């Protein structure tokens, strides 16, 4: 079922009266989602009509899912089972006319980075350029004329087999377009990710696709406003945030962070989170005083899309696999920027100068005292 969310630079009064109406999807789409047992939702974000520009309509798809097999099942079996599950959902996304689809963080594996064990989890790592999963995504992209954003655990054989948390971007032509690595690595509770990989070295890449300029701000980067900002400065019109996060850690912040970023950066943001509770055979601790345990906590899904005018979609289910389809008009980015002028009024030269000073060892805070 689609809901239309009108996002045409409303004032506060009209925002409070914003009307949403349901749109009927083709029956085969509704039936396919029901048969395959996943939550299907859709929303439309409209811009105001313009005299010189036609609407720039793009449909994005956000996929959230549970792992399929137990975490101690053979590695290849786990990867293959997830490929099969996600391909079922991507097919429905294609029925919905999706142009760009993004999967959740490290989608081909359990989020095992809580355990601090190297085996078997490092065996899930693949080449970003020509690995098993990238070839799988290239086939999907060609088949459905769809850009695919595929966040994986990357093994960089050129640089000594180093591991990275990486998003691969495949063009709708099926060509490998590029990759973007996770810029910020958490050290919070069970999130022991620096045991496996460190901060990325690809900066803030933006990918020019047939459907618009996109960027990928992986998971923990959403807590860093400057990270979103730099993707925007490089021209991103849509910023995807594939994540894996649990309720006890981040749920109070989840519903506002991507929305705030969309407002601050005059762009669309897409927050994606996995679902389910993943059980690990060996107990683990995280040096935080808690007893040894077998699971990370509940991944609460709730994936959503936010627009630059402050509107956002409801989230997908907290407990079930899901596909969220958003039809967006990229003209809304410039319309919002023309109204609020955040980039025009930003004092970037001043910030850059003061930040440069703040990174020096002899920095002294600018505090005036009596």
Active site residues: 105, 182, 219
Burial class (CB in 10 A: 0-12, 13-18, 19+), 233: middle
Alpha carbon distance 254, 300 (integer Å): 10
Alpha carbon distance 244, 112 (integer Å): 11
Alpha carbon distance 297, 277 (integer Å): 6
User: 244 to each of 18, 265, 339, 353, how far by Cα in Å?
Assistant: 32, 23, 34, 35
Alpha carbon distance 268, 286 (integer Å): 35
Alpha carbon distance 143, 111 (integer Å): 29
Compute the CA torsion angle 128, 134, 135, 140 (nearest 10 deg): -160
Alpha carbon distance 118, 237 (integer Å): 37
User: Sign of dihedral through CA atoms 24, 26, 30, 33?
Assistant: negative
């Amino acid at each position: 079922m689609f809901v239309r969310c009108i996002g045409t630079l409303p004032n506060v009064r009209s925002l409070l009266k914003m009307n949403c109406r349901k749109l009927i999807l083709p029956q085969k789409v509704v039936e396919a989602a029901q048969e395959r047992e996943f939550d299907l939702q859709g929303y439309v974000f409209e811009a105001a009509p313009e005299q010189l520009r036609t609407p720039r309509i793009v449909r994005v798809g956000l996929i959230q899912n549970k792992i399929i097999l137990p975490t101690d099942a053979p590695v290849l079996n786990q990867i293959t089972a997830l490929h099969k599950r996600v391909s079922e959902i991507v097919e429905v996304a294609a029925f919905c006319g999706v142009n760009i689809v993004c999967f959740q963080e490290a989608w081909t594996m359990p989020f095992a980075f809580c355990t601090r064990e190297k085996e078997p989890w490092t065996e899930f790592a693949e080449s970003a350029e020509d690995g098993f999963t990238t070839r799988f995504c290239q086939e999907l992209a060609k088949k459905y004329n769809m850009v695919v954003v595929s966040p994986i655990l990357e093994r960089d054989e050129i640089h000594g087999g180093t591991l990275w948390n990486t998003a691969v971007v495949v063009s709708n032509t099926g060509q490998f377009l590029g990759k973007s690595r996770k810029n910020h690595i958490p050290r919070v509770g069970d999130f022991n990710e620096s045991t496996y990989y460190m901060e990325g070295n690809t900066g803030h890449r933006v990918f020019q696709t047939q459907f618009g300029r996109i960027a990928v701000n992986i998971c923990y980067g959403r807590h860093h406003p400057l990270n979103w900002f730099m993707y925007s400065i490089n021209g991103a019109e849509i910023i995807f945030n594939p994540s894996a996060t649990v309720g006890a850690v981040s749920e109070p912040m989840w519903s506002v962070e991507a929305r705030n970023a969309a407002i601050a950066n005059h762009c669309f943001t897409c927050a994606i989170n996995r679902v389910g509770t993943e059980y690990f055979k060996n107990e683990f601790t995280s040096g935080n005083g808690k007893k040894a345990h077998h699971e990370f906590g509940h991944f609460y899904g709730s994936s959503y899309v936010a627009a630059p005018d402050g509107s956002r979609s409801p989230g997908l289910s907290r407990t079930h696999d899901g596909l969220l389809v958003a039809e967006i008009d990229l003209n809304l980015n410039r319309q919002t920027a023309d109204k609020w002028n955040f980039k025009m009024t930003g004092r970037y030269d001043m910030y850059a100068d003061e930040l440069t000073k703040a990174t020096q060892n002899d920095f002294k805070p600018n505090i005036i005292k009596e």
